[in-house]
C-alpha cells in the first residue's frame, strides 16, 4: 500500500510547491520610489478610504503639493496648498529655503496642514474642507520657535503641536543638539495654548550625542502614544527613530532597537543603492496593515545623485509593541507587494518606475506638475496667444538672481533619461536667450539656448559661474552657428542624463539629433557638490539678462522620458 501512496503523496507535495511558486510569481508588486524625483519630507493622512500626501517645495511655487490615492501606490496631483502669490512670499529666498516639512492631518470635517516658511514668517497652519483646495491663508504661530510642526488630535478632543526646537535654554551641548517640544493647540481658533514642554532632549540617547532630531509625529495605538522622528541629519546618516509613552506629555521611552529605519550601515557599493532614508510618517490602512512613507535618495555612485530626495513606501512591522520598518542590514526594496491589492486606482500622470510624458500645451491651463522658481508677481506666460504653443516673455530676471524669472520647471525624476523641447525664437540682441535649463540652484546649472553672437544666430551652452556679475553669472562652454535656413526652422533642444554625465543635443528635424556637447559633468549639479535640499529641474527658461525687451519664445511641446535600469523588464 505504501508503495503506491508514496509516489502519490510526492506528486501532490510537488504540485503544492509549484502552485505556491506560481502564486508568488503572480503577487502584484509596486515600485519604489512611489514619487520619483524631488518630492521630499512626505506626510500622509487617511480619510475614509482615501489617502492624502504632501511634500516640501522649498523656494518653488506653488507651495506644498497635495497628492491623492486610493491604493497608496498610484497618486494624483490634485492641487497645491499655497497657490496664490499673497499666500506665499518667496522673493529673495534661496532655492533650498522657503517651505520646510509640511504635515497633513484631518479632524471633524477639516484638513489641517502645519508647516514652516523659513526666513520669512516662520511656522503656520492652513485649513481646507477639500484637500484639492482652496486652502486658507496662513495663520502664523509666532510662539513656536522651531521647524517641522505636526498636529496630533487625541481621542479626548484635544490637539497638540509637536515640533523641532533648540537645545534646552538654547545652550547646545554639541553641534546638532536639538529637542522635540509640544504645545497644546486650540484647533478651533488656530492658536497655541498653555505652556511648552520638552518631550525629547537630543534624541535616542543624549550620552551618544545624537544629532538633528526633527520631523516629529505622534500617533496613538493600544493605549500608547508613539512619537516618531528623524535623527542623524538628512544626508547618508539619516534615520527614523521611535519613542512611546502612556501620557502625551511623556516621559517617552526610546525603543531599544532604534533606529527603526536607516540604510547607513549598508555597503555603499551595493547595486542600485537607496540611501539617506528617514523623515517618515505612518498610516494605517482599512485592512489593518501599517505603512510608512519616507524620503530616500538613489545615488548613481559614491552617494552622488541629482534627483534629490524622493518619496518611498514600505510596510511597518509591529514587534512587541514597537513599529519597525527595517532591522539590521535590511535594505529598503524597490519592489514590495501591493498594500491594497483589492483596490483599483489609476492616476492620470505616472510618478513611479520608467515612463514618458509629453506636454503639447494644448490645454487652457498649465499642467499642475510645472513649477515656478519663486513667487510670480506677474503673468509672463500664456497658452492662448498662439494656439498649441506656450508663450513665454523674455524678462530681465535670471535664474541666478533673487526674484522670479521666466522659468517653468519639471523635476529630473530619473538617473537616466532625457528632456526635450521644440521651440520658435528669434533673438534681437545677444542678451536675449531662450531654451532649456538643467538647474540645481542659483549657482549650479547648465543652460542650452538660442541667441545671437555678432548678429549671427547661434545655439549656445552655458555653465553657471557664481563669480560673475549678477545679470550674467554664466560661462560660455560652446556655441554653434546657424545659417539663415536653420534660423527660420523650429528648433529642437534635448538634454540627456546618464548618471554622472549630461549630453546636450539639437535638431532641426524631429529625432535627427546633433551633439552640441557631450560628456558634461553632471556631478556639478549633484546635491553632494551643490548642497541644499532640492533636486534638479529641467526648465523652460527665457531671459534678457537684466535688460528690458518685448521679445518672447514659443514652445511647441515638451517631452520627458525616464529609463532607469532597475525598473527594466518589470511590471
Which residue, among 546, 545, 551, 536, has the nearest Cα to 380 in the 3D structure? 551
Our separate counts of H helices and E strands in the chain read: 3, 39
Specify whether 41 is catalytic: yes
**Which residues in 261-389 belong to E strands, given as ranges?**
261-262, 275-284, 290-297, 310-319, 322-324, 335-337, 356-359, 371-373, 381-382
State the residue for C-alpha cell 527658461: 541
Please tell me whether residue 24 adopts helix, strand or coil conformation: helix
Q: How far apart are CA 567 and CA 355, in angstroms?
A: 10
* ω into 33 cis (within 30 of 0): yes
- Of the residues 71, 80, 148, 214, only one is catalytic, namely 214
Q: How far apart are CA 444 and CA 437, in angstroms?
A: 11
Which residue, among 374, 440, 533, has the nearest Cα to 55 in the 3D structure? 533
- List the alpha helices (DSSP H) in 119-256: none
* ω into 134 cis (within 30 of 0): yes
CA atoms within 13 A on the CB side of 96: 17
Specify whether 155 is catalytic: no
Which residue, among 346, 350, 258, 275, has the nearest Cα to 312 in the 3D structure? 275
State the residue for C-alpha cell 497658452: 383
| Contact yes or no for 564/570 (Cβ under 8 A) | no
**At residue 46, what are phi and psi to the nearest 5 degrees?**
-115, 130
State the residue for C-alpha cell 492658536: 191
Q: How far apart are CA 508 and CA 490, in angstroms?
A: 6
C-beta contacts of 524-527 below 8 A and 24+ residues apart = 524/444, 524/463, 525/306, 525/438, 525/439, 525/440, 525/444, 525/445, 525/446, 526/304, 526/305, 526/306, 526/440, 527/297, 527/304, 527/305, 527/306, 527/308, 527/440
**Which residues in 41-109 belong to E strands, given as ranges?**
43-47, 50-54, 60-61, 63-69, 76-82, 98-107
| Contact yes or no for 71/510 (Cβ under 8 A) | no
The DSSP annotation for 392-441 comes to EE-BS--TTSSS--EEEEEE---SEEEEEEEEE---SSTT-EEEEEEEEE
- Of the residues 41, 148, 359, 564, only one is catalytic, namely 41
CA atoms within 13 A on the CB side of 328: 2
How many C-beta neighbours within 10 Å does residue 211 have?
Answer: 17
How many C-beta neighbours within 10 Å does residue 338 have?
Answer: 14
- Residue 510's region, left for phi above 0, alpha for psi from -120 to 50, else beta, is beta
Please tell me whether residue 536 adopts helix, strand or coil conformation: coil
Q: Would you please indicate which residues are annotated as catalytic (active-site) residues?
A: 41, 214
Amino acid at each position: 500500500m505504501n508503495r503506491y501512496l508514496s509516489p502519490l503523496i510526492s506528486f501532490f507535495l510537488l504540485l503544492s510547491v509549484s502552485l505556491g511558486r506560481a502564486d508568488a510569481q503572480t503577487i502584484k508588486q509596486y515600485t519604489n520610489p512611489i514619487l520619483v524625483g524631488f518630492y521630499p519630507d512626505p506626510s500622509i493622512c487617511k480619510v475614509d478610504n482615501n489617502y492624502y500626501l504632501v511634500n516640501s517645495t522649498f523656494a518653488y511655487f506653488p507651495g506644498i503639493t497635495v497628492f491623492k490615492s486610493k491604493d497608496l501606490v498610484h497618486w494624483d496631483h490634485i492641487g497645491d496648498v499655497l497657490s496664490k502669490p499673497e499666500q506665499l512670499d518667496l522673493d529673495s529666498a534661496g532655492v533650498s529655503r522657503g517651505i520646510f516639512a509640511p504635515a497633513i492631518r484631518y479632524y471633524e470635517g477639516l484638513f489641517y496642514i502645519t508647516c514652516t516658511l523659513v526666513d520669512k514668517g516662520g511656522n503656520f497652519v492652513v485649513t481646507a474642507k477639500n484637500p484639492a483646495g482652496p486652502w486658507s491663508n496662513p495663520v502664523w504661530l509666532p510662539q513656536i520657535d522651531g521647524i517641522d510642526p505636526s498636529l496630533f488630535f487625541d481621542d479626548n478632543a484635544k490637539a497638540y503641536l509637536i515640533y523641532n526646537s533648540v537645545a534646552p535654554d538654547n545652550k547646545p551641548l554639541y553641534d546638532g543638539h536639538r529637542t522635540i517640544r509640544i504645545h497644546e493647540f486650540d484647533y478651533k481658533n488656530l492658536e497655541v495654548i498653555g505652556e511648552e514642554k520638552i518631550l525629547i532632549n537630543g534624541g535616542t540617547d543624549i550620552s551618544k550625542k545624537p544629532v538633528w532630531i526633527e520631523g516629529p509625529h505622534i500617533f496613538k495605538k493600544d493605549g500608547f502614544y508613539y512619537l516618531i522622528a528623524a535623527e542623524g541629519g538628512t544626508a547618508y546618516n539619516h534615520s527614523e527613530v521611535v519613542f512611546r509613552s502612556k501620557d502625551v506629555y511623556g516621559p517617552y521611552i526610546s525603543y531599544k532597537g532604534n533606529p527603526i529605519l536607516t540604510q547607513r550601515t549598508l555597503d555603499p557599493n551595493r547595486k542600485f543603492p537607496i540611501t539617506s532614508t528617514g523623515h517618515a510618517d505612518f498610516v494605517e490602512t482599512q485592512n489593518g496593515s501599517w505603512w510608512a512613507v519616507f524620503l530616500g535618495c538613489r545615488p548613481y555612485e559614491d552617494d552622488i545623485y541629482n534627483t534629490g530626495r524622493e518619496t518611498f513606501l514600505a510596510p511597518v512591522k509591529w514587534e512587541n509593541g514597537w513599529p519597525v520598518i527595517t532591522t539590521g542590514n535590511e535594505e529598503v526594496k524597490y519592489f514590495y507587494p501591493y498594500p491594497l491589492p483589492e483596490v483599483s486606482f489609476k492616476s492620470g500622470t505616472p510618478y513611479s518606475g520608467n515612463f514618458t510624458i509629453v506636454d503639447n500645451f494644448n490645454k487652457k491651463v498649465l499642467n499642475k506638475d510645472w513649477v515656478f522658481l519663486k513667487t510670480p508677481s506677474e503673468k509672463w506666460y500664456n497658452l492662448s496667444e498662439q494656439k498649441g504653443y506656450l508663450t513665454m516673455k523674455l524678462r530681465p530676471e535670471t535664474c541666478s538672481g533673487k526674484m522670479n524669472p521666466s522659468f517653468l520647471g519639471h523635476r529630473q525624476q530619473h538617473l537616466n533619461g532625457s528632456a526635450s523641447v521644440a521651440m520658435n525664437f528669434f533673438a534681437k540682441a545677444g542678451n536675449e536667450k531662450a531654451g532649456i535649463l538643467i538647474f540645481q540652484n542659483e549657482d549650479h546649472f547648465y543652460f542650452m539656448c538660442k541667441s545671437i553672437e555678432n548678429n549671427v544666430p547661434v545655439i549656445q551652452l552655458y555653465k553657471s559661474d557664481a563669480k560673475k556679475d549678477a545679470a550674467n553669472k554664466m560661462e560660455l562652454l560652446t556655441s554653434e552657428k546657424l545659417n539663415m535656413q536653420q534660423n527660420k526652422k523650429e528648433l529642437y533642444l534635448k538634454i540627456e542624463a546618464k548618471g554622472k554625465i549630461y549630453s546636450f543635443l539639437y535638431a532641426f528635424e524631429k529625432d535627427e539629433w546633433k551633439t552640441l556637447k557631450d560628456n558634461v559633468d553632471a556631478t556639478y549639479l549633484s546635491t553632494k557638490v551643490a548642497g541644499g535640499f532640492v533636486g534638479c529641474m529641467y526648465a523652460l527658461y527665457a531671459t534678457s539678462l537684466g535688460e528690458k525687451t518685448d521679445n518672447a519664445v514659443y514652445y511647441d511641446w515638451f517631452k520627458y522620458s525616464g529609463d532607469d535600469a532597475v525598473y527594466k523588464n518589470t511590471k
